[in-house]
Structure formats: C-alpha cells, structure tokens
Amino acid sequence: MVDLPVLVTGAAGFIGFHTATRLLQAGRRVVGVDNLNDYYDPELKSARLQQLDNFSEFQFVKGDISDKAAMEKLWAEKGPFVEVVHLAAQAGVRYSLENPYSYITSNCMGHVTIMEMCRHTEGFKHLVYASSSSVYGGNKKLPYSTDDSVDKPISLYAATKRADELMSHTYSHLFDLPQTGLRFFTVYGPWGRPDMALFIFTKNIVEGKPISVFNNGQMKRDFTYVDDIVTGILGALDNPPQREGDDAPWRVLNIGNNRSEKLMDFVALIEKELGQKAEIGFKPMQPGDVPETYADIEAIQKLTGYKPTTTIKEGIPRFIAWYKDYYNAKAD
C-alpha cells in the first residue's frame, strides 16, 4: 500500500506541531497546513516549523483552511489525504469576546471546508478534529462526561466548537464520513501557547511582573501534558468509528488527564521551578470562563488504551526548561 501522507491542519500551532513531530518520528509522511496568523507571536510558529523541517518527510503549505480554492489546491498538489488531524482553529475563550468573526471564519467555515474536502476524497479513512472542554459551559456535574448536555455554551469559542461537533455529525450521517471529535482539556507543555496560563505566569514571574489569578485563586483545571494528548490523538486516528445500523460513523471523546488540579498548586510549582516568587493579583471570575474542569476519560481509555502518565510535577519543569532554552537562545 502506498504510504499516503497525513494532513495536519494547524501544524505550526502548539498541539499540531507535537502531533506532526510524533507522526514523523513514527515514519509517517506529513503535510502541514497553517495560515501563521498573528493571534500570538508568529515567530514561535515559524520556530516550530523549523523543527519540523528537520524531517525530510515533512512538507508545509501556508494556507487558510476556510479558503476553498486554497484547500482544493492543497489536496490536488500534496494529497490526496485519507487521514486528517484537524487542529487549526481560532483558539482562546477570552479573545472570542474581542474578535468574534475570526472564530466563525476559522472554526465554522474552516471546519466545513475541511469536511467537504474529506468527503470528496476516495477511500477516505478518518477525520480527527479538535473540540474543547469549553463545550461543557457552566455545567456543575463533575467529572464532565460526553453524555452530559452541552447545549448552553457560555463563550462564542465554545459555541463554534459545539457547532463543529454537530456539523460533523451531519456529515458523518449523510456521507458516511468517519469522524472523531476530541474534547481537549487545558493542554500544556514545551512549545506551548503564549496566551495560556502557564506561559503567561512563567513570563511574568521571570520578568518580575505581577500575575492575575482569576476567581480569587479558586480555580481548578484538568491540565493535560501535550505528549499524553498526542498519544490520545494518534490512538484515536487509528480507530475510526464505523457505521452501526442507524448510527453514523461519528463520535466525540473527552481527552484530559482525569485529575483536577488547583490553580494555586500549579502556580506554586512554577515558582519552585523558577526559584522566584510570584506577585499575585487576585481577580474575580472572567466572563465566559468556568471555575473547574475535570474529564471523564473512560471512553477513550477503552477505545485506545489511553492513559495519561505525566503529572504537573513532571510536566511543568519540562515546560520551564524549554521556555528558558528558547528565550535564552533568542536573546543570544
């Protein structure tokens, strides 16, 4: 069988970069697509791509997933792709209050465009795409289960991710397109996102600036180390859902760490690792945010054997080692 490349959308992004790396290390060919937008420092995206360029089996195409003509060109020139890991999106809960349109363009139009490409691909095997724990909105029942009702999103970001899950169901039902949506819980690790808590806290502490801790510090998160997430993504990719009777080949899975950590413990670990105390400004809860997340991961465990192994005690030092290396090298 010809080894067709896997398409990774958002390959210059945090999780896309790690996913592409693992696929390449496993000997797969990978085509990455990303529009390299400036939601956060594009230099970090380029630096991730430079790492991927060390693999001869990696090819990158700059392009926008919401641009139908660009995706048709990508499929024609680098495809066909029968396996797609679709991670490109406008991420971030808070930014969706400022720039709603970018969420609709990338997360809704982009998602439909990728599904359209997949459904017109002969022998298509599996589309695995990123959803988010934010779809659970203000749900109080913990741990969050995929059986819970998720009809009341409290941010536009969450609403677009939920819309993706629903549109995916329609495509799986109508066109027998095998799809798995993964609800990621707060993912962290080396090469992480500058808009997320671990990065912001580390940067501010290093620079002697105060950090803002919301909900007066009473926050808990199911922090998931990026290597564990990638293991889950690739485990899911190898297990496409099948049509069963009237049920479409579609599923949604939680992928978290199955532990809810206190944000203040997280901060204490960063302080310990940096050997510096944080100046903490306690703030009220932010609109669109939730006080606690915690994933029920039984379904992905059963399907793929997924078992997250990295605790925050191991993961935070690895992030901080990367952060120091990356920014010291830039300063040289």
Ligand X SMILES: NC(=O)c1ccc[n+]([C@@H]2O[C@H](COP(=O)([O-])OP(=O)(O)OC[C@H]3O[C@@H](n4cnc5c(N)ncnc54)[C@H](O)[C@@H]3O)[C@@H](O)[C@H]2O)c1
Q: Counting contacts by CB under 6 A, is residue 184 touching ligand X?
A: yes
Nearest distance, CB of residue 245 and ligand X, angstroms: 31
Q: Counting contacts by CB under 6 A, is residue 15 touching ligand X?
A: yes
* Among 61-69, 71-79, 280-288, 290-298, the segment contacting ligand X (CB under 6 A): 61-69
Nearest distance, CB of residue 18 and ligand X, angstroms: 8
Contact yes or no for 271/277 (Cβ under 8 A): yes
Residue selected from 28, 45, 126, 251 as contacting ligand X according to rule CB under 6 A: 45
Give the C-alpha separation, 325 to 315, whole Å: 16
* Among 6-14, 236-244, 252-260, 309-317, the segment contacting ligand X (CB under 6 A): 6-14
Q: Counting contacts by CB under 6 A, is residue 31 touching ligand X?
A: no
Nearest distance, CB of residue 89 and ligand X, angstroms: 3
Q: Counting contacts by CB under 6 A, is residue 215 touching ligand X?
A: no
Give the C-alpha separation, 267 to 212, whole Å: 11
* Among 83-91, 139-147, 199-207, 233-241, the segment contacting ligand X (CB under 6 A): 83-91
Q: Counting contacts by CB under 6 A, is residue 128 touching ligand X?
A: no
Candidates 129, 125, 117, 123; CA nearest to 169 is 129
Judged by CB under 6 A, the number of residues near ligand X is: 27
Candidates 151, 120, 121; CA nearest to 138 is 151
Q: Which residue in the list 40, 157, 225, 294 is annotated as catalytic?
A: 157
CA distances from 137 to 1, 103, 168, 198, 322 (A): 44, 17, 20, 22, 32
| Contacts (Cβ under 8 Å, ≥6 apart) of 138 | 152, 154, 290
* Among 33-41, 117-125, 242-250, 281-289, the segment contacting ligand X (CB under 6 A): 33-41
Residue nearest to ligand X (CB): 13
Build a one-symbol-per-residue string for 256-295: x at contacts with ligand X by CB under 6 A, - elsewhere. Answer: ----------------------------------------
**For this structure, is 157 an active site residue?**
yes
Give the C-alpha separation, 16 to 13, whole Å: 5
Q: Over the range 108-119, which residues count as b (16 or more CB within 10 Å of their CB) and which as e?
A: bebbbbbbbbbe
Q: Counting contacts by CB under 6 A, is residue 96 touching ligand X?
A: no
Residue selected from 7, 8, 28, 106 as contacting ligand X according to rule CB under 6 A: 106
Q: For Cα atoms 95, 100, 103, give the angle at the middle one, nearest 5 degrees.
A: 85
Q: Counting contacts by CB under 6 A, is residue 137 touching ligand X?
A: no
Nearest distance, CB of residue 12 and ligand X, angstroms: 4
Nearest distance, CB of residue 80 and ligand X, angstroms: 19
Q: Which residues bind ligand X (CB under 6 A)?
A: 10, 12-16, 34-37, 45, 64-66, 87-91, 106, 110, 130, 132, 184, 186-187, 193
Catalytic residues, by residue number, are 157
